[in-house]
Structure 1
Amino acid sequence: MGLIVAASTPSHSEAPSQRSARHRAINPTGVSYCQAHEVSGFSRLLFVSGQVPADADDRVPPDFRSQCRLAWRNVQAQLEAAGMALDDLVKVTVFLSDRRHRQENYQVRTEVLGPRSPALTIVITGIYDEAWLLEIEAVAAA
C-alpha cells in the first residue's frame, strides 16, 4: 500500500487559524491517479463549475489537445480568482465527449498537474455544446 503526501503537515504550535490545509493523496493500488484525497485543516472550499474550452471571446480551438489546455487554463483562472492554485485541487472531474480522447487527456492533464494528484473521475458523455470536446470541474481546499 503506497501513500503519497502532497503537502506537509504544519507545526502543532501554530494556531488553528494559521494552519494551512493538509492534503494527502491515498493510492492503495499504485495506479497512475489518486484513489482518494484526504484534506484536513482547511478553512475554505472552492467548487469550480465545469470549465469549457472557450476563451473570453467564446472561441473554441478545433483540436482536442488545444481545447484541453484551454479548459485547464480556465480552471486555473478560477483558482487564481479565489486566491488558490493547482496545489489546492482535491477533486477533478473531466467530462469527455468521446473515449478516443482518453490518452491526449491524460497527457495534457499530467503536463498541467505535474506531480499533483487530486482525486479524479473521468466521464464519457454528451457535452452541452457540440464544439466542446471536454469540460473540467474541480474542488479545491485551502
Structure 2
Amino acid sequence: MERLAINPPELFSGKAFSQTFSIRGHERLIFVSGQVDCDKDGKVRNPDDLEAQLKGTLDNLEIALRAQGAGMRDLVHVTIYVVGLQPEQTARIREIRSAYFDPECPPAVTLLGIERLAFPGLRVEIDIIAAQ
C-alpha cells in the first residue's frame, strides 16, 4: 500500500498532521467507533482530566486497531472531540497525539471543540479511519 501525505505550500503546515492524505492499493479500510478513556466496564478512568483522558483514549484506539490486526501507523484520518476546547490547549493536545502517530506520515486530523460528550466527566472522544 502506498501512503502519501502532502502539505501544500499555500496551506498551514503542521508537523503533527497532514493537510492531505491519500492511499493507493489498500486492501481494506478500518473504521473505529468513537473511543473514550473508559475501562471495559464503561467507567470513566480520569474524570475531567483532559491530558490523562487523551492518553487513555489513544491507548484504547491502539487496542481497537490491534483487534483488527492494525496499528497506529495505519491511521489515515482522526477526528478528536474535546469538551470546552480552549485555544491554549491545542499545542499540548498536538504534542500528546504526536507521540502516538507516525512522524513520517501523520494522518489527516480534525480537532473540534464541543459542548459535551455522552457521559459526565468525559472530556475527549476520538474516532478514526485506518487503511491497510
Do the two structures share a fold, i.e. TM-score over 0.5? yes
Larger Rg: 1
Shift of residue 124, structure 1, vs aligned partner:
0.9
Residues paired across the two proteins, number = 122
In 1, Cα distance between the equivalents of 2:21 and 2:35?
A: 21
- Aligned equivalent of 2:96: 108
User: Aligned with 2:58: secondary structure?
Assistant: helix
Q: Specify which structure has the bigger relative contact order, considering alpha-carbon pairs within 8 angstroms and separated by 6 or more residues.
A: 2
Q: TM-score, normalised by structure 1?
A: 0.79
In 2, Cα distance between the equivalents of 1:30 and 1:117?
A: 15
Q: Is the 8 A contact 1:89 1:139 kept in 2?
A: yes
RMSD of aligned alpha carbons: 1.4
Shift of residue 36, structure 1, vs aligned partner:
1.2
Shift of residue 103, structure 1, vs aligned partner:
2.8
Alignment of 1:29-108 (within 5 A): 29=11, 31-32=13-14, 33-57=17-41, 58-62=43-47, 63-100=49-86, 101-108=89-96
Structure 1 moving runs of 4+ over 6 Å: none
Alignment of 1:128 with 2:118, yes or no, is yes
Q: TM-score, normalised by structure 2?
A: 0.85
- Aligned equivalent of 2:129: 139
In 1, Cα distance between the equivalents of 2:107 and 2:30?
A: 14
Identity of aligned residues (%): 30
> Which residues of structure 1 form unaligned runs of 5+?
1-20
